[in-house]
Every structure is written in C-alpha cells, then in structure tokens.
Amino acid sequence: MAHPISHKGYKMVYNRDMKNTHLEHLEDNILNGSPEETVDFLKSFGYMLTGKQSNLKISTKWDGAPAIICGIDPQTDRFFVGTKSVFNKFNPKVCYTETDIDLYYFAPEDKGLADKLKTCLKYLPTLGIRGMVQGDLLFTNDTRYANLDGERYITFTPNALTYAVPVDSLKGISITEAKLGIVFHTVYLGDTIQTATAAVNAPLRIPSTAECYVADANFVDESGICKFNVRDSAKYTALINRATGSLKKSSKFLKLIHEYGTSKFLMATLFKQYFNQRIRTGKNIVDTKRVAGDFAIFYSNKMEEEIRSKKTETSKKRYRHMREMGLRFIQQNELEIYFVCASYISVRTAKSMVIKQLNKVDKIKTFVNNVPSQPEGYVVSYKGTNLKFIDDEFRQANITVVKSWAK
C-alpha cells in the first residue's frame, strides 16, 4: 500500500535554508542576527515545562548516519535514494539503480556507504513513499546482540551512540526481522530534487514494514514527567532574564557582526568555532571573564593558521592585516564581547535544564563505548525555524567516533 505524504489542511512553513543539511545549535543562533528568536525558544519551553500552551514542535534527534534522501523524483516518477549529495548544484548524486551507486561510490573508502545505499534502494520502496523525504539510517546488516543487566538486547551503532532494545519486545522483534532501520524527519516539496524545499512542519506518517523498521522521531510527554518543579522554574526564568539583559547590552555588536557576516574579520564564524571547540574538548565554559578573554588568543591563533595556509605573499599580507584589524576590533568591543559570552553561557545553562527535563521521558537505552549515555538530543521547531538542542556529552563523543558504515 502506498503512503502518500499528505499536506492537506496543514499550513506549510518552509525551512529558511531550503535544505535540511545543517541545523544550528540554540546558543549559536544568537550570532545569526536572531538573539530575540533564541530567547523566544527558551520562553516557549518555559510555558511547556510549566504546563502552559506552547507552539513548539519537538523531535527526538536520533544519532543516525548517513543521512538518506529518498522518494519519487517529481521529474521522472522513479524511486531514488542518495545522501545529501542529491542536492549538489554540480554533479548531484541521485541513484535510481545499483549501477548509479557503483558509478558515484566506486572508491574503496566508499564501499561501506555504497552497500548501505544498495540496501536502501532495495527495501525502502516497500514503504510506498509518494513524495521526497529525508531520514537518518539506523542499521542495515550490522545489528548485534548483547546481555545487559541480565536481559538480552539487540543493538545498533550508526554513529557515536549505541542503541539497545530488548530482543523480546515488540520493537526488538521488528528490528530483528527488518533488513534496515531508519528514522524520517523532513518532507521536501518541489518540482525537482535540486529545487525542493524542506517543509519543516509537514506531517510524516510512514509505518514500518517487515523489511523496514521506521523509528518514530516525534517527542511526546504523555505522563507530564517533564514539568519543572517550582524551584527549577524560578531558576529557569532567572536564566532567561539574565540572557535577555546581556543580549540587550551586546545587541549593537551582534547586529554589526551579523551584517558584515564572514567579511568582518571572520568574527562570527570564529566565535562559533571558539565556543564549539571549548564544548567539544570539555573546557570550562562557565567563567564569563575567562571565556571572553581567551577568545582574543583563539582568534589570533586561527588567523595565523589562515595566514600560513595562503600560497602567495599578497594573500598572506591581506590576512595579516585582517588579523591586526580583528584584534583591534576585539579590543575596542571588549565589554560587548563579555556580554555576548555571558548571554551564551546563560542560554546554554537554560538549554541544559530543558534537555534534562526532556530526557526524563522513557526512551531506548543508549551507550557510548559501552558506557550508559544520554540520547543525542532534540530538534525543536518554532515559527518556521529549526534549532538543535544537543547534549554536551554527545558533542564530545561525536568527534572521536569512526562511523560504523565507514569502518
């Protein structure tokens, strides 16, 4: 039976980036010219976690890999599979047959990916998809069995996290019998694959078949266990107020670096890299004064790397000048940068409180290197914008893990 993706009766909101190829972290969004939007996300969670009405749509972010784009090509009416490279402006890698897969993924290092795509091409058509969707692959022929706390589990490790499901449960039986597992999260609409647009709030109801286990990404708290207690609610509100105040004090600076984009001494780009490097390497990101002060050192070192990478003296000279002007810019805006860091820390702390509450809902067991772990996190949609709420533990683990399909 075919399962068309129906949008009748739904107001479609389109992803502002057109393709769901990159999601920003909540805290990074303040550097995109959207500090008010970032606060609105947190306020809406405040409503939700105190039992009030909220317009948030929350999806569990499964740690699947690789990303799979599949469905019916609107131009040819043929079923296709591929990775995000189906959206390439030049040489889009859209695969209708195994021959196409062999043509695009012939290198020895691509064999694991090619095998995954061939499995997808063989079994995903059984889902009867009549549109274009994006999902994350969870497993093909690489499930394993393990004994945990005296119970037998079937496990799969698509990326950094290992998922474990009791073998005798309904989910466990479905996974055991399936040829592949996948979680879908995005619908695309358009006249061609390359011009298709992500509809971020489109309903996605694709049931599993015997061959394909389709995991559910929708987050539901039926028991109300996620609600804040009175003390945590007060703490959360205080963090939002603190972030709002520091963002107001840094608003002119944030507007400036957003308007200039990457052309203004690469400031916005390197700010994001700086914060993310600290998180991924487990460095302290609580002491505002220290974090703000270390940014100048990080900026100078990164610009030095850029200078060394340039081939011509003319390019080197241009980047030396950019570094000099950038460091002067940092010095002139020292107070504003302090408040940007203060905002970043407050937003991150509030986000961590949200993740902690959402993690209280019972889910599939997850592990990193055989150690119990929290799930990856969540994707949150609000007024047409998607942002990710990712656990720091996962972000640190994710940089050292070899993808199972690339081993």
114-149 tens-digit pLDDT = 999 999 999 999 999 989 999 999 999 999 999 987
Tell me the percentage of the chain whose pLDDT exceeds 90: 63
180-189 and 67-72 strand pairing: unpaired
Q: Any idea what DSSP says for residue 161?
A: P
- Which regions in the chain score pLDDT beneath 50? 1-17, 404-405, 407
What token pair was written down for 297? 């050192």
What is the predicted pLDDT for the residue at 264? 61
pTM of the model: 0.82
